[in-house]
Structure 1
Amino acid sequence: MTMTTNRTEQYAKCIAASRRIRWDIDRDVIRGREFDFSRRFLPDGLSRIRRLAFLAPAEQLRLSQIQGRTYANMFGLVERFIAIKMLELSRDHWYGDQVALEALVRFTDEELKHQELFRRIELLAGKGMPAGYQFLPTANAVAAQVLQASTWAVLALTCHIELFTQAHYRHSLEADEEISELYRDVFLFHWKEESQHALLDELEWERENGRLSHAERDRGVDDLIGLVAAVDAIVRQQASADADYFASTCGRALTAQEAAEVAAGLLHAYRWQYIVSGVQEPRFARALALMVTAEQMKRIQAALQPLMG
């Protein structure tokens, strides 16, 4: 069996899974429901709220919901550039592997649906939470910044995102029956399609990697390091905004020390959610290690080290 035939079969498996698990936002996910604001959104495995032991249970609940609102918005944000990149990559298959083309077109269609889902979730969250919440990064500005990087780097970041999405659902969201049922269902259905997307990410990343010279791949590593820094800038900005929103809506005046600890706790949680958990995901680590040299890996690890604490 040739490598091309093997890849075609892998693309075909993704198409078959896409057809089998296809879902609708209203019929399958929302089903006329609204959020239960007596329950948390994010489990502690993701929110890390228990590190803030001075917060009362009601305050921890509120902070979980703020984090959960941002978590949904973050996925709506990144899926903008992912959809654009996959549509761009489909061009490589226009006159070639039509199975691969269909797989990437389906991927793009599903990412557009996910963006709509998260726009709907933001509206539902806003109905039950106090005014003043702000999600500061904008999807088009972030997409424009990310897509300036090399395709190799964008695919590396995309694979990282798709894989930590799965890990978060399997290890935290799925097992926690105390969180809002609607919130968990949003990420159940999201996870079902992202499982196939991660396979396509790996196929396209491997394909791109095979086309590059050492010098081109080395530039890709630099671009990936730059993209991680850009993600960290986003999470630092949003952690600060969410800390301010919590302080203004938690029902009491926080001391300066408490406010600082909330801000630091949110930054820690967001770095874990959007950077560290993906870096530590074994599947991503294996894929990256197969594509870079030992020296390139050391550069990546050195760039990540300040964020890992």
Structure 2
Amino acid sequence: MQAVQHETQTQRYATCIAVSKRIRWDIDRDVIRARRFDFAHKFLPDGLSQVDRLPFLDSAARTLMSQIQGRTYANMFRLCERFIGAKMLEVGGDHALGDQIALEAVVRFTDEELKHLELFRRVELLAAESMADGYRFLPDADDVARFVLGKSTWAILALTCHIEIFTQVHYRQSMEADEALSPLFKDVFLFHWKEESQHAIIDELELLREDARLDYAARDAAVDDLIALAGIDGMLQEQAQADAAYFRAQCDRAFTPTEREAIDGCMLDAYRWQYIVSGIEEPRFAKLLADLVDERQANPIGAALAPIMQRKLPDPMMALG
């Protein structure tokens, strides 16, 4: 049985390699193509920016909000790629003297993550070219990476899988028929998704492999680590506040206290949706995590997520999907 299971896993790694070779893309040749951002276009679709919650904004202001969020989107993924790449380098070492197909798959994964990091660095530079001074991305990528990499491998792989899976959600939303959406940013979503869809498969394989090593007590500790990683919400709150202030400073009108509160709330809810909720509610991730933990372990996960999900979760397992 173990031999059959190993063969099946090896086949999945091999499929990821084959797809990686087939869809391989280049930042300049395929994505940017010597283009600059046209600031008449939105960067993020309304489903991600949630700007449709603010009916008092005119078209120009709605576009500006999506551009600010798009710039933060690029910076947030630069941050994530930093610790994901570092962790996958470590994970690859486990296969160095073992399954060489798995090793190649993980090495390709790591190489592609480094390319994604460079892609989003380029997106930030392009956004900065025409956006007014005053934008700040507050989190320090190295500090965040050190914090994340200090947690257990199980927790980091679960977080990484969550990230790779919610990029699938973001891609689907970027495909909405919206002529106001930036063609360049749509290509960023498209090409990022192409490789991340394979990375999510490798994440699942590596998480299951790591989980098989753990006894119940070790998995308990790993769940605690995963909950600690939900502390990203504090980072999102700070960035949402900074971005909302930057947005208001760039608008050519004053806002009422009620409108200011709505802008602040929309920005935070959008970031929570983009970087936490869209992954947690995706059935694929929910099932994966629910299969790994029992109800007692799920309970504290649900308690940590409930304020972020902004809805009551009466059943602890509901926190997983």
8 Å contact kept, 2:155–2:226: yes
Per-residue deviation at 1:262? Answer: 0.9
Which residue, 131, 135, 138 being the options, matches 2:137?
135
SS at 1:93 equivalent: coil
* Count of residue pairs brought into register by the alignment: 307
User: Does 2:234 match 1:233?
Assistant: yes
User: Does 2:148 match 1:146?
Assistant: yes
User: Does 2:101 match 1:79?
Assistant: no
Q: Which amino acid aligns with 2:54?
A: L
- Consecutive unaligned residues in structure 2, runs of 5 or more: 311-321
Aligned partners of 2:177 and 2:42: how far apart in 1? 10
Aligned partners of 1:259 and 1:175: how far apart in 2? 28
Q: Which amino acid aligns with 2:154?
A: W
User: Does 2:63 match 1:90?
Assistant: no
8 Å contact kept, 1:209–1:291: yes
Aligned partners of 1:216 and 1:251: how far apart in 2? 55
Aligned partners of 1:297 and 1:173: how far apart in 2? 32
Per-residue deviation at 1:176? Answer: 3.4
User: Does 2:14 match 1:12?
Assistant: yes
Aligned partners of 1:27 and 1:272: how far apart in 2? 32
8 Å contact kept, 1:11–1:100: yes
Query: How well do the aligned residues superpose, as a CA RMSD in angstroms?
Result: 1.0
8 Å contact kept, 1:164–1:278: yes
Aligned residue runs from structure 1 range 1-309, under 5 A: 2-170=4-172, 172-178=173-179, 179-228=181-230, 230-309=231-310
Per-residue deviation at 1:255? Answer: 2.7
8 Å contact kept, 2:48–2:170: yes
8 Å contact kept, 2:170–2:189: no
Q: Any idea what the Cα deviations from partners look like across 1:10-39, whole Å, max 9, x if unmatched?
A: 111100010000000000000001111111
Per-residue deviation at 1:298? Answer: 1.8
Per-residue deviation at 1:297? Answer: 1.3
8 Å contact kept, 1:243–1:263: yes
Identity in percent: 61
- Consecutive unaligned residues in structure 1, runs of 5 or more: none
8 Å contact kept, 2:171–2:193: yes
Q: Which amino acid aligns with 2:66?
A: S
Aligned partners of 2:249 and 2:261: how far apart in 1? 14
SS at 1:37 equivalent: coil
Structure 1 residue runs of 4 or more that deviate by more than 6 Å after TM superposition: none
Q: TM-score, normalising length from structure 2? A: 0.94
8 Å contact kept, 2:36–2:126: yes
Per-residue deviation at 1:289? Answer: 0.8
Aligned partners of 2:134 and 2:125: how far apart in 1? 14
8 Å contact kept, 1:162–1:197: yes
